[in-house]
Chain A
C-alpha cells in the first residue's frame, strides 16, 4: 500500500455524510443517501470493495483475516488549532484464524486469480428477500448476475445427504419420504399458503371463511405448532433447519438461544415459498451472485457513484475532529465536525457512518467531556460475547460433496452430527460456474453460531470430516498413507482450508456518528438489510429508501423478465 503514489487532496472538503467501509450495510446506506440527493464521501481503508463482505483471492483473504492493517499509521504530530482530534483504533473482528494449505499448487499464479472467496460465507439470496427487493428498487440489480443454487440437503453424521423437499415437485420426486409423510408435508405447505393468501386478502377486504392459522398459535413456539399439525420429527427438522434456516435446537428450551415463534416461522416459510418461482429462470428459492458475494456491495457502490457519491479506496481515517469549545456545540451534531484522513487532510461532514471495526480507545476517551463521550458512544467497543460469534470455515476441495451437483446447500440440524451440537451448521458448496474457483474445484463455506471459538471450530471440523476426506498437511504427507476405505475414497479432497471466528457487531445509530453492522450468522442478508434500512430512517428522518427509483419503467421491467439477471 505504501508503494502507491500519494493521493491528491480531496475536493470538495465538506459533505453531508462520510461513510467509512464498503461492507453491505455501508454500501446500501451510501447508495440510498446518494439517491436522495445527499452528498456522500465513501472511503475504505482497503484496496478493494466490500470490507467484511468482500470476495477475495486466497492470499488477500489470508492477509485480511490475519491483519490488523486497519490500524492507522501513527497520527500526524500536531493537533489542528481549530478542533479537538480523537485518535481512532481498529479492532479485528476475527479470532482463532487458522489457515492450512494441503496442496501448495493451489496458490500458483495460474490459479490465484480464479478464486473469489467470500469472507462472510456461507451466504445466498432468497429470490423474494429484502436484499433483492432493495436491489430492484435501487437499480443496483443492473450490475450483478445470479445463478441458482441447484439443490439443498439435510445431512447427518452418516454422511448421507437427503434433499430438502421444499416444493411440490421436490416432494413428488423425493425418495426418502413415505407417502403419508408427503401428504402431511404438502398439506402443511398448503395451509401456510392459504394462510398467507388470507392474510394478504384481509388487508384489502374481509376475510370471511378464509383459512388462517389461529392467533394463539401464532404466538406459540413454532416447534409446538409443527408438532400439533401433526408433523413427524423428521419433517419437523427439515422445516425448521432446512427451510426456515433456524440456528438453535428448538427442542431444547434451556439451551436454545432463540426459540422461534410460529409467526416468525411462518414468515420464514413464506419467504422460502414465495422465493420459489419468483423468477422463471431460477430453479429454486436460492440464488448466488456470479463472482462472489463481494459483487453485492460493489453493485450498491456503483449505484451510489452514479448518483454522485465520491469513492476513495485505500484511505484510512486516523482521527475524528470535534469542536473544541463546549459552549459552541451545535446540539444536532453533538460537536462532531469531521475526520482526518491518513493523508492528513481534514474533511468535514454533518454525519459519519463507520465500519464496525473502527473504535475509540478508552485512553482517548478519558479526556473528553460527557457531551463528547455521548457523541462517540457507538465507537466504544462492547464485550464481544454480548454480540455473539460466528464460526466460519472455507475449504477448497477437488471433487464435489454430491455427485452431479455443483452448487448446493447442506444443513446439519442441531445434534445431527454429535450429541453436543448446539446449533445448526450450514454448508454451501459453489463451483466454477459461479466464477469463484477453477474448473475442477469447489469452494465449501461452513458456518455456525457459537458461544466460544473452540466450540464453534469443533462443530465445523465435525461437519468437514463428514463431507471431506481428511488430509494431513503437505509437509507431513508420506507416500505410504494412501489406502483408504472406499466410502472415504469417494469423498472430495481438501486442498486449502481456513477456519476463523467472526465477532458479530450490530449496527448502531448515535446521532451524528453511527456504526454499521458487521455480517451476521444468517444465510441471507435479510437482517442486515433490515438494520441498514432502520439506520437510514434514523439518519434521514423517516424517509423511504430509493423512493424516486420506483418509476413505472422499473415495475414493467420487473414483470417482464423477473428483474434480476439469473443465468440458467
Chain B
C-alpha cells in the first residue's frame, strides 16, 4: 500500500513481535529438520503451513511444500479428485499467506507452480486477482501473476486492454497498469490483431495519455507511457542500414602504403596492409552479418570469404557497425585499374536485431574502387601537429554530398502518420513550457521530428532543441550530465544534418599535405553521436570538449589521427572502442584525467586481467608482469593499436614508468609526448 506513514512500535507491540519471533524460530528449526529428513507426513506438512501463515517469506518452506506435493502425487494413482484436493490445499495456503503479505514472491511463485501442475481452478484466479488488485491497484506481483493467468486461460488481449482502461480510469497514477497496457499493445500491434494498426491505435493512445499528462503533469506514470509511445512512433522495429563506407555510387581511390592520413581528398585511402575496410552501419544493434548474409560481387581478387566483425565490446555478437576488410593489393598486378564492387545485404535471412526482428528489406549498393600504382612517397615520418596551420576547407560540397547523403528510400514507408502524430504532440507540448518534463518531452519530440522528417526543416528544430536542453541544464542541476549528453547528441546531429553545416567544420591541414580534418573542438561535447554520417573521416579533432569516453568512435574505421586532448577521460578503459581502429596512427590524449581516480567504475564494464589469462601468454605480459598488472587497462587498449605518435602528457598517469611501459607495448611508436624516440 502507498502513502501510509510508518509508525514507531509501542512497547506492547515490541513484546508481541518478540514473542512472534520466538515462536517462528521454534517452528523454523522443527521445519528444517523435517525438510532435511524428507519427512512429508501430514503433521510435517501442517507445520510448514503454520510457518508460512506467519512468515510467507520462508522460501525454503515453499520449496519443501513443492517436494511434499510431488511426493504425494507420486503415491496416489491418478485419481483426479485426490489430485484436486491436494492442489486446492496448496492454493488455500498461498491465499492465506498472501493475505498476510501480498507482496511475497515465494507465495506468488508457489501459486504459479500449482497452476502449472494443470490445476483446473484457473477460472477462479482472475476473481482472486480482481480482489487483490482492488486492494492495491499498483501491486506488480498481482499484475505479473495476472499476465501469467491470462496466458494460461487464453483470455483475449483485447479484454485485458479493456481492464487496463478501467484501472487507469479509476486512478491513472498506476505504472503497473500503463506498463501492462504497453505490453498488450505491443503484442496486438505486432501480430496486427483485428483493427490494431499502429497508424490507427498509436494516435488514440496519445490522446489517452495526454489526458493524464494535462490533468496532472506532476504525475510521472503518464510521462513514462508517453516516452514509450514516442519510441513506438519513431523506431521501426525492423533494423535498417543507415550508411556505409564506401557509400553507394562513390568512387574511392586506393593507394598502397600509408601516410598519416595525408590525403587531400576525402575519397582517398591508403594502407600498408593492402586492405581497405568496408563498413556497414545499422540503425540498431544487429547480429548475423556474415559472408552468407552479405554478398560481395567484385573482380578484386581474394575477397571470396570475407570475415565480418562487429565493432563492439569483446565477446559481443551484436553491433550497429560491422566491418570487413577487402584486399586490394594482391600478387597479381591490379594497379591503375577500376573495380566495381557490388554489395548485397539481406538476400538471405540471418541479420537479426537484438530485439529479435529480421532485417527484411534487402538492399544493394555499388561503388567503384580505383587502385593506384604510385605509392605516394610521403615525408610523413614527421610529427602531426594540431595547433595551427588549418585552412578553411574550400572544396566543393558535391564531393561531400556523395559521402553523407544516405539512401533511406527503403525506410519507413508509413511515415506519414508518424510525422502527423509527432507534429500534433509538438504543438501541444509547446503549451506546457513551464515544467521541466514538458521541456524535456518537447525536446525529445523535436528530435524525433528531425529524425523522421525532410532535411530542409531540420536546422530550425535543432536550434530549439539546443535551447531547451540549455534551459534544462540551468533549471535542473541534478540531471545536468544527462541534459549535457543529449545536448551533445543534438549538436552533433545538427552539425551532420547537412553538407553546409558539416563543411563548416572541415579544414585543411597545411603541414599535413593539406589533408582534410574534421574539427569538432571547443563544443563542450560530452558524448559522441552521429558517427554513421562521419564514416569517411580520417583526421578528427575533438579537443577541448568534455568527453568521458570514446564510445561510438569505433565505427569510424578510416580514422588515422585523433585528438582527444583537454577532455575528461579518466582511464584507458574509456578508450576501449579505439581498439577497433586499425588505421589509427596518431592519438593525443594529453590533458585528461587518466590515473586521477583510483576507483574506475568503467573498469567493471570491460575485460579485466582477473578474468582473462590470455595476457600471460603474451610476450610483453611475460616479460613485465608487474607493469602489465599495474597498467592493465592501458595495456589492453594500446597493444591492439599501431600508434606512431602518442601524447599522454598532462595526465596523472604520465611519467617515466608509464613511458617505459608504453615503449614496450607499442614498439612502432616514433613520437611520444612531442619527442622523437631514439630507436
Residues in A lying within 8 Å of B, measured CB to CB:
168-169, 171-173, 179-180, 182-183, 186
B344 to chain A, nearest CB (A): 49
Q: Which of B181-215 contact A (CB under 8 A)?
A: 210-212, 214-215
Which residues of the other chain, B, contact A180 by a CB distance below 8 angstroms? 214, 431
* Minimum Cβ distance to chain A for residue B173 (Å): 8
In B159-174, the 8 Å CB interface with A consists of: 169-172
Residue from the set A172, A173, A179, A186 with the largest chain B CB neighbour count within 10 Å: A172
- Chain B residues lying within 8 Å of A182, measured Cβ to Cβ, are 211, 214-215
Given pairs A169-B169, A182-B215, A186-B214, 17 additional interface contacts (CB within 8 A): A168-B172, A168-B215, A169-B171, A169-B172, A171-B215, A172-B169, A172-B172, A172-B215, A172-B216, A173-B211, A179-B210, A179-B214, A180-B214, A180-B431, A182-B214, A186-B215, A186-B216
The 15 listed contacts between A and B (C-beta, < 8 Å) are A168-B172, A168-B215, A169-B170, A169-B172, A172-B215, A173-B169, A179-B211, A179-B214, A179-B428, A180-B214, A182-B211, A182-B215, A183-B214, A183-B217, A183-B432
CB distance from A232 to the nearest CB of B (A): 15
Tell me the bound Cα distance from A180 to B217 in angstroms.
Answer: 11
| Ranked 10 nearest A-B pairs via Cβ | A179-B214, A183-B214, A172-B215, A171-B215, A182-B214, A182-B215, A186-B215, A172-B172, A172-B211, A173-B169
- A172 surroundings in chain B (CB, below 8 A): 169, 172, 211-212, 215-216
Task: Provide the residues of chain A in CB contact with B431, threshold 8 Å.
Answer: 180
Smallest CB–CB gap between A405 and chain B, Å? 16
Find chain A residues with CB under 8 A from B211 CB: 172-173, 179, 182
Residues of B within 8 A of A171 (CB): 215
Q: In whole angstroms, how far apart are the Cα atoms of A186 and B172 in the complex? A: 14
Measured CB to CB, the closest approach of chain B to A559, in angstroms, equals 12
Taking CB atoms, residues of chain B closer than 8 Å to A186 are: 214-216
Distance in angstroms between the alpha carbons of A42 and B279 in the assembled complex? 99
Residues of B within 8 A of A173 (CB): 169, 211
The distance in angstroms between the C-alpha atoms of A354 and B500, with both chains bound, is 94
Considering the chains assembled together, what is the distance between the CA atoms of A182 and B210 in angstroms? Answer: 10
Q: Which residues of A contact B214 (CB under 8 A)?
A: 179-180, 182-183, 186
Contacts of B169 in A (CB 8 A): 169, 172-173
How far, in angstroms, from A186 to B173 measured CA to CA in the complex?
A: 15
Complex Cα gap A169–B172 (Å): 7
Residues of A within 8 A of B170 (CB): 169
**Most chain A CB atoms below 10 A, which of B171, B216, B431:** B216
Chain B contributes a number of interface residues (CB within 8 A of A) equal to 14
Contact B210–A168 (Cβ < 8 Å): no
CA of A183 to CA of B218 in the docked complex: distance in angstroms? 11
Minimum Cβ distance to chain A for residue B544 (Å): 42
In the assembled complex, how far is the CB of residue B607 from the closest CB belonging to chain A, in whole angstroms? 50
Which residues of B, 207-261, contact A by the 8 Å Cβ criterion?
A: 210-212, 214-217
Q: How far is the CA of A183 from the CA of B431 in the complex (A)?
A: 11
- Measured CB to CB, the nearest residue on chain A to B168 is A172
The CA-CA distance from A172 to B165 in the complex, in Å, is 12
Residue of A with least CB distance to B207: A179
Query: Considering the chains assembled together, what is the distance between the CA atoms of A169 and B170 in angstroms?
Result: 6
Question: Cβ of B428: which chain A residues have Cβ within 8 Å of it?
Answer: 179
Residues of B within 8 A of A168 (CB): 171-172, 215-216
Kindly state the separation between the CA atoms of A179 and B432 in the bound complex, as whole angstroms.
Answer: 11
A182 to B215, CA, bound (A): 5
Shortest CB-to-CB span from B484 to chain A, Å, is 30
Residue of A nearest to B217 (CB): A183
A168 and B217 CA atoms in complex are apart in Å by 12
Q: Report the separation of the CA atoms of residues A182 and B171 in the bound assembly, to the nearest whole angstrom.
A: 15
Tell me, in angstroms, the Cα distance from A169 to B214 when the chains sit together: 12
The distance in angstroms between the C-alpha atoms of A173 and B212, with both chains bound, is 9
Instruction: Name the CB-closest residue of B to A175.
Output: B211
Q: Determine the distance from Cα of A168 to Cα of B174 in the docked complex, in whole angstroms.
A: 13
Minimum C-beta distance from B168 to chain A (A):
8
Interface centre among B169, B211, B214, B431 (most CB of A within 10 A): B214
CA gap between A182 and B208 in the complex, in Å: 13
Bound-complex Cα distance A173 to B169 (A): 6
A169 to B211, CA, bound (A): 10
Q: How far is the CA of A163 from the CA of B214 in the complex (A)?
A: 18
Q: In the complex, what distance in Å separates the CA atom of A171 from the CA atom of B217?
A: 13
Q: Which residues of B contact A169 (CB under 8 A)?
A: 169-172
A179 to B212, CA, bound (A): 9
Q: How far is the CB of A111 from chain B (nearest CB, A)?
A: 37
Could you tell me the distance between the alpha carbons of A258 and B428 in the complex, rounded to whole angstroms? 40
A172→B170 CA distance, assembly (Å): 9
Q: Nearest CB to that of B432 among chain A residues?
A: A183
Closest to A185 in B: B215
Tell me the complex Cα distance, A186–B212, Å: 11
**A contact residues around B215 at 8 Å (CB):** 168, 171-172, 182-183, 186
Report the minimum CB–CB distance from B205 to chain A (whole Å): 14
Shortest Cβ gap from B38 to chain A (Å): 45
Chain A positions within 8 Å of B172 at CB level: 168-169, 172
How far is it, in angstroms, between the C-alpha of A179 and the C-alpha of B215 when the chains are bound?
A: 7
- Could you say which of B171, B212, B215, B217 has the most chain A C-beta atoms within 10 Å of its C-beta? B215
Chain B, 9-48, contact with A by CB distance < 8 Å: what is the 0/1 string? 0000000000000000000000000000000000000000
Q: CA of A169 to CA of B166 in the docked complex: distance in angstroms?
A: 11
Q: How far is the CA of A13 from the CA of B172 in the complex (A)?
A: 64
CB distance from B415 to the nearest CB of A (A): 26
Cβ–Cβ < 8 Å partners of B212 in chain A: 172
CA gap between A171 and B169 in the complex, in Å? 10
What CA separation (Å) do A168 and B432 show in the bound complex? 19
* Cβ proximity bits B411-444 to A, threshold 8 Å, 1 near / 0 not: 0000000000000000010011000000000000
Give the complex CA separation of A180 and B433 in angstroms: 13
**Complex CA distance for A221 and B5, rounded to whole angstroms:** 38
Closest chain A residue, CB of each to CB of B212? A172
| Bound Cα distance from A182 to B172, whole angstroms | 14
- Tell me how far the C-beta of A522 lies from the nearest C-beta in chain B, rounded to whole angstroms: 30
How far in angstroms is the closest Cβ of chain B from A163?
13
In this complex, what residue of B is CB-closest to A181? B214
**Nearest neighbor of B170 in chain A, beta-carbon distance:** A169
Smallest CB-CB separation from B222: which chain A residue? A172
Of all chain B residues, the one with the shortest Cβ separation from A283 is B170
Kindly state the separation between the CA atoms of A542 and B676 in the bound complex, as whole angstroms.
101
Q: What is the bound-complex CA distance between A195 and B211, given in angstroms?
A: 25
- Across-interface contacts of B217 in A (CB, < 8 A): 183
Q: Roughly how many angstroms separate A168 CA and B212 CA in the complex, as a whole number?
A: 9
Residues of A within 8 A of B171 (CB): 168-169
Minimum distance in angstroms from A192 CB to a CB of chain B: 14
Residues B328-382 near A (CB distance < 8 A): none
By a CB distance below 8 angstroms, the chain B residues around A183 are 214-215, 217, 432
Nearest chain A CB to B151's CB is how many angstroms away? 29
- A-contacting residues, B566-587, CB 8 Å: none
Please measure, in the bound complex, the distance between the C-alpha atom of A390 and the C-alpha atom of B590, giving whole angstroms: 89
Query: Roughly how many angstroms separate A183 CA and B216 CA in the complex, as a whole number?
Result: 7
Give CA–CA (A493, B45) in the complex, Å: 65
How far apart sit A183 and B170, CA to CA, in the bound complex (Å)? 18
A182 to B217, CA, bound (A): 11
Closest to B208 in A: A172
User: How far is the CB of B441 from the nearest CB of chain A, in Å?
Assistant: 14
Tell me the bound Cα distance from A172 to B222 in angstroms. Answer: 11
**Nearest chain A residue, comparing its CB with the CB of B173:** A168
Distance, CA A171 to CA B211, complexed state (A): 8
- Compute how far the CA of A173 lies from the CA of B215 in the bound complex, rounded to whole angstroms: 9
B199 smallest CB distance to A (angstroms): 22
Least CB distance from B390 to A in Å reads 52
Q: Could you say which residues of chain A place their CB within 8 Å of the CB of B210?
A: 179
Nearest CB on B from A281, distance (A): 12
The smallest beta-carbon distance between A273 and chain B, in angstroms, is: 15
Cα separation A183 to B172 with both chains bound (whole Å): 15
In the complex, the chain B residue whose C-beta lies closest to that of A172 is B215
Bound Cα distance A168, B221 (Å): 14
* Complex-state Cα separation, A277 to B438, whole angstroms: 30
A183 to B219, CA, bound (A): 12
Within the complex, what minimum Cβ distance (angstroms) separates B662 from chain A? 58
